């Protein structure tokens, strides 16, 4: 589709969507949201890009092949699960680290759960884009 309105609109929307998807990813830690929905929102940004400017440009903007993003995500999610082995826990047991922990305040929690969610985000993001790009190029 060649429409200047869509192209200009996409320039702004794409960035906002990706940013919002990251917000959803982090928010999912304690509230509704998370890697799956975040990955879906983030991929819509690039789907929009592909519709407005063509898949070639979208692939260029992405720099990395979407299939590789998905597979790397699977790897990250797996490593987050396997990391529990070091502590002798069962597979996928969450491991927590609290930064700046004080008696009153737990501080900033960093956990393998978060990394697992990031992996999910990348898997969803990458696989949606591989499918959409492939279908867009087929037509």
Partner 1 sequence: MTWTLATPLVLPFLTAVLAFLARYGAAGRWFSVAGNAILLGASILLMARVLDQGVIATQMGGWAAPFGITLVADYLSAVMVVITAITALAVSVYALSDIDERKEHLGYHALFNILIGGVVGAFLTGDLFNLYVWFEVMLISSFGLLILGGKKEQIDGGIKYVTLNLISTILFLSGIGLLYGMTGTLNMADMARAIDTVENQGLVTVVAMMFMVAFGVKAAVFPLFFWLPAAYHTPAFSVSAVFAGLLTKVGVYALIRMFTLVFDGDIGFTHQILLWVAALTMVTGVLGAAAQNDMRKILSFHIVSQIGYMIMGLALLTPLAVAGAVFYLVHHIIVKANLFLIAGVAERTAGSTNLDRIGGLYKSAPLLAVLFFIPAFSLAGFPPLSGFWAKYVLVAAAIEIEGWIIAAVALLVGLLTIFSMTKIWAEAFWKPHPEGVDPELTRLTPQARRNLLIPIAALAAMTLVIGFSPDPFVTFAKDAAAQLLDPTAYITTVLGGEA
User: Which tokens hold the place of 124?
Assistant: 């969803």
How far is Cα 29 from Cα 35, in angstroms, rounded to an integer?
9
Site for partner 1 in 11-40 (CB under 8 A): none
Output Rg (C-alpha) for the chain, integer angstroms: 18
Site for partner 1 in 59-78 (CB under 8 A): 67-68, 71-72, 74-75, 78
Figure out which of the listed residues 16, 19, 56, 91 binds partner 1, where binding follows CB under 8 A.
Answer: 91
Q: How far is the CB of 71 from partner 1 (least distance, A)?
A: 4
Cβ atoms of 111 and 83 within 8 Å: the answer is no
Nearer to partner 1 among residue 45 and residue 81 (C-beta): 81
Verify binding: residue 90, partner 1, rule CB under 8 A. Answer: yes
Residues linked to residue 111 through DSSP beta bridges, in sequence order? 96
How far is Cα 76 from Cα 74, in angstroms, rounded to an integer?
6
3-state secondary structure of 105: coil
Of 15-23, 29-37, 85-93, 102-110, the segment contacting partner 1 by CB under 8 A is: 85-93
Residues that bind partner 1 (CB under 8 A): 67-68, 71-72, 74-75, 78, 81-82, 85, 89-94
């Amino acid at each position: 589709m060649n429409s200047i309105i869509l192209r200009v609109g996409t320039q702004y929307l794409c960035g906002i969507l990706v940013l919002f998807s990251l917000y959803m990813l982090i928010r999912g830690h304690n509230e509704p949201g998370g890697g799956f929905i975040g990955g879906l929102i983030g991929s819509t940004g690039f789907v929009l890009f592909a519709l407005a400017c063509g898949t070639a440009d979208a692939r260029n903007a992405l720099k990395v092949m979407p299939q590789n993003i998905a597979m790397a995500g699977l790897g990250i999610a797996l490593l987050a699960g396997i990391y529990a082995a070091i502590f002798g826990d069962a597979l996928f047991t969450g491991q927590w680290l609290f930064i700046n922990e004080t008696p009153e305040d737990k501080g900033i929690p960093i956990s393998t759960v978060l990394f697992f969610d990031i992996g999910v985000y990348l898997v969803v993001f990458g696989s949606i884009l591989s499918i959409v790009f492939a279908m867009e190029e087929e037509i």
